[in-house]
Copies of this chain bind each other. A is one copy, B any other.
Amino acid sequence: MTNKYYETAQTDLDFFFKPQSIAIIGASGDAKKPGGRPIEGLLTKGYAGKIFPVNPRYERIAGLKCYPSVIDISEPVDLAIISVPAKLVLDMFRDCVKKKVKAVIIFSSGFAETGEEGNRLQQEITDLARQHSIRVLGPNCLGIINIPGSVMASFGTIVNLDPVLPTSLGFVTQSGAYGVMVYARALQQGVGFSSFVSVGNEADLEFSDFIGYLLEDPNTKLIGGYMEGAKNGSKLRKVAERAAELQKPILLIKVGRSSAGSRAASSHTGSLAGDDLVYEAFFRQMGIIRIETLDELTSFAILHRSARKAAGRNVAILSASGGGGVVLADKCEGVGLNVPELTGDTKCRLEQVLPSFGSARNPIDPTGQILTEPTLMAKCMEVILKDDNIDMVILNVGLNHEGADVMVEGMIEQYNASDKPIVFVTTDTTEDPESEKLVNKIQNTGIPLMFEGYHAVDAMEKLVWYQERAAKIVQKDKQVDKSSEAQLPVKTKQLLKNSKNLTEYQCKQLLKAYGLPITQEGLATSAEMAIGIAADIGYPVVMKIQSPEILHKTEAKGIKLNLASAKEVKDAYHDIISNAKNYDPQAEIHGVLVQEMVGGGVEVIVGSSRDPVFGNAIIFGLGGIFVEALKDVALRIAPITRVDVEEMIKEIKGYAVLEGLRGRPAANLEAITDVILKISRFVIEYDIKELDINPLIVTDKGAKIVDALIIRN
């Protein structure tokens, strides 16, 4: 990563995660108060650095010397927590500036989230911070905790909870209370955190900065988060690219999918919500795993920490309950995993091991036989795990029966002898003491264990999806796009720069100059000229009015199709001009476009529009009914690569149409790919606000832009 801001943030953020000393401004002896809880947390969790309570009303707090002001502290202060009413925060912050504090957390609320005045106050603090190179977390946040460093710089109740090992999950949240809930429940489910950051109003440091920091943290193996909206899309993109490089998955609960949700999210911390469809596409493109529930986060974390990789999507299900096996198989195929029937050697060897009434087909059903033959599960595992066609295994058995300990022993042995992802699903919870012992034993050996089959399947699918995505992202970083090195000629650039509204003809000339394929055509300013152009092109032709003022050509009766002779072209020319003048007497008329009539092929659309968060979004879909009735479009954020475009094309529901229905030839996908790639570069290079190619007509031979609209800004 060479991005300057990102690098700066990286080292600056050490003062939040690994401060040598912490001052708490607005310190309190009451551990339930925001100014008291961090002190208690730092002391009880064994923070090794120095703690400086600041409060003019006390001499000592929690046995520590208390300072009237942060300025009175003689030693250097790395991190200051400000926990005083909003109106006092600016003064306290000025003290921090004087004291040359490196990093400040502002717990206090009453800033941008409350309206105009709070916003001004927040801006004043931010300006001051930027001026003096102090980094700020908050305001209106719960702060930060870093478990390995025992940095308990938060007033959330989570400060009091005992850490769970391994401390591998980094969590960043735009909602303090929701984050606390996630943290507490995840611990209950045995998932431990490395760090927790509540970002509040993000006056200075934002969500992506902390994700970026945690990616480089060796303790953090995966990252979770709750997000209402990103402040800066390109920063989030850089972070996601880095995550793919490091193979550290990011799982985000991104809210605002619904109208009520986005209404609430935008009023909640005042973040820019943006269009959820764009987020959805961006996450998919960048390998960010979008989740909706805590269970998805914890089950993924449990599977991920086994540090095993799946070679593919083939799952074997070994279930002591036939019904349970079928339910799991349905769920697997429902999320896009395969449950292939076992064949050849594997089937043969399984049949030797299984009783005659068992099933070796996958799901594999060892039946009640496991009760009388406790080593049967291990025997089955041994056979299955050797099958190269099986990438992952789900084990589904009860634990509260005789011989369960022997059974588990054998299963653990098989688990350890393999490097494939394996999940143990058992519905026997820890309520029964014998089962509890076995559950603990399984967990202690590191086998991912879950109590709900569907969570196991979800986690497996996410793991495979993530591996596939991350590989593609890394691969495409290396991929050089040579599809075109086109540059617009100077004259064309001028046109783009100076025109307010471009006509269709101008747009297409621009695109042509950039190397894109357009229809054969010419602009006629007289009927005679039109006839000449038509003759050059060959009949039939299409004619369209060209005026920057007339955007709706059909409405203005400014289009004539299927003109087959000089006579028809001549009449059409006069009709079109006269219709246009009737429609808008003031309109500046450039002339009439005479264009070849493209027959056959499939109509597709390629477009781009600028998203306020992420920049140029590129859209692809089939034209006509597909886009109008089905909203069937694929979306990505520019810049995009060939890999992205190939996915876009295959992702639309109407893909079968491009493959050629009823024996029609398949559309030339290479030609579509080329157009989309060039458009994605063009809109960035020339800062295009909106571009609309509708339709691009694609045959088996190639593609032609039939109509286009470009809006500069």
| Chain A residues close to B by CB (< 8 Å) | 109-110, 113-114, 157, 173-179, 181, 184-185, 188, 226, 228, 253, 255-261, 263-265, 267-269, 292-295, 320-327, 329-334, 338-341, 356-357, 359, 361-363, 365, 368, 398, 400, 427, 429, 431, 452, 454, 625, 628-630, 653-657, 661-662
In the A-B complex, the 7 residue pairs with the smallest Cβ-Cβ separation, listed nearest first, are A175-B323, A178-B323, A258-B333, A260-B339, A177-B321, A629-B656, A261-B330
Q: Are B657 and A323 neighbours in the complex by a CB distance under 8 Å?
A: no
Residue in contact with A257 in the complex, picked from B157, B334, B630, CB distance below 8 Å: B334
Q: Is the CB of A292 within 8 A of B260?
A: no
A258 adjacent to B339 (CB under 8 Å): yes
Question: Residue of B at shortest CB range from A295?
Answer: B452
**Residues of chain B within 8 A of A292, CB atoms compared:** 327, 330-331, 334, 454
**Which of B173, B295, B334 is A258 in contact with, Cβ under 8 Å?**
B334
Residue in B174, B265, B267, B321 whose beta carbon sits within 8 Å of that of A175 in the complex: B321
A262 to B292 CA separation, bound complex (whole angstroms): 29
Residue of B nearest to A657 (CB): B629
Tell me how far the C-beta of A654 lies from the nearest C-beta in chain B, rounded to whole angstroms: 6
A318 shortest CB reach to chain B, Å? 12
A294 — which chain B residues lie within 8 A by C-beta? 452
**A113 and B357 contact, Cβ closer than 8 Å, known pairs A324-B178, A656-B628:** yes
Q: Please report the C-alpha to C-alpha distance between residue A256 and residue B339 in the assembled complex, in whole angstroms.
A: 13
A293–B450 alpha-carbon span in the complex (Å): 14
Measured between beta carbons, the chain B residues less than 8 angstroms from A427 are 181, 184-185
Residue of B nearest to A177 (CB): B321
Q: How far is the CB of A320 from chain B (nearest CB, A)?
A: 7
What's the Cα separation between A263 and B326 when bound, in Å? 9
Compute how far the CA of A25 lies from the CA of B259 in the bound complex, rounded to whole angstroms.
63
A331 contacts which chain B residues (CB < 8 A)? 292
Q: Determine the residue in chain B with the shortest Cβ distance to A356.
A: B114
Q: Is the CB of B333 within 8 A of A173?
A: no
Contact: A255 with B625, CB < 8 Å? no
Chain B contacts for A293, CB-based, 8 A = 452, 454
**Do residues B322 and A661 form an inter-chain contact, with CB atoms below 8 A?**
no
Q: Which residues of the partner chain B approach A431 to less than 8 Å between Cβ atoms? A: 188
Residue of B nearest to A293 (CB): B454
Are B173 and A326 in contact (CB-based, < 8 A)? no
Q: Chain B residues with Cβ under 8 A from A228's Cβ?
A: 323, 326
Query: In the complex, which residues of chain B have a beta carbon less than 8 angstroms from the beta carbon of A257?
Result: 330, 333-334
From residue A427, how far is it (CB to closest CB) to chain B in Å?
A: 5
CA distance A365 to B260 in the complex (A): 13
By a CB distance below 8 angstroms, the chain B residues around A654 are 625, 629-630
Shortest Cβ gap from A364 to chain B (Å): 9
Residues of B within 8 A of A177 (CB): 320-324, 368
Q: A175-B323, A292-B327, A292-B454 are in contact. List 4 more A-B contacts (CB 8 A).
A: A185-B427, A261-B329, A295-B452, A628-B656
The residue on B at minimum CB distance from A228 is: B326
Could you tell me if B324 and A661 are in contact, using CB atoms closer than 8 angstroms? no
Between A and B, 25 residue pairs with Cβ closer than 8 Å are: A113-B357, A173-B323, A175-B323, A175-B324, A177-B321, A177-B324, A178-B321, A179-B323, A185-B427, A255-B326, A255-B329, A256-B326, A256-B330, A258-B334, A260-B330, A260-B339, A260-B363, A261-B333, A264-B325, A264-B329, A264-B365, A265-B326, A268-B365, A295-B452, A629-B661
A330 in complex: contacting residue of B176, B258, B322, CB < 8 Å:
B258
Residue of B nearest to A661 (CB): B628
Which residue of chain B lies nearest to A265 when distances are taken between CB atoms in the complex? B326
Q: Cα distance A175–B362 when bound, in Å?
A: 17
CA gap between A175 and B328 in the complex, in Å = 14
Complex Cα distance, B322 from A639, in Å, reads 35
Chain B residues, CB < 8 A from A628: 656, 661-662
Contact A267 B327 (CB under 8 A): no
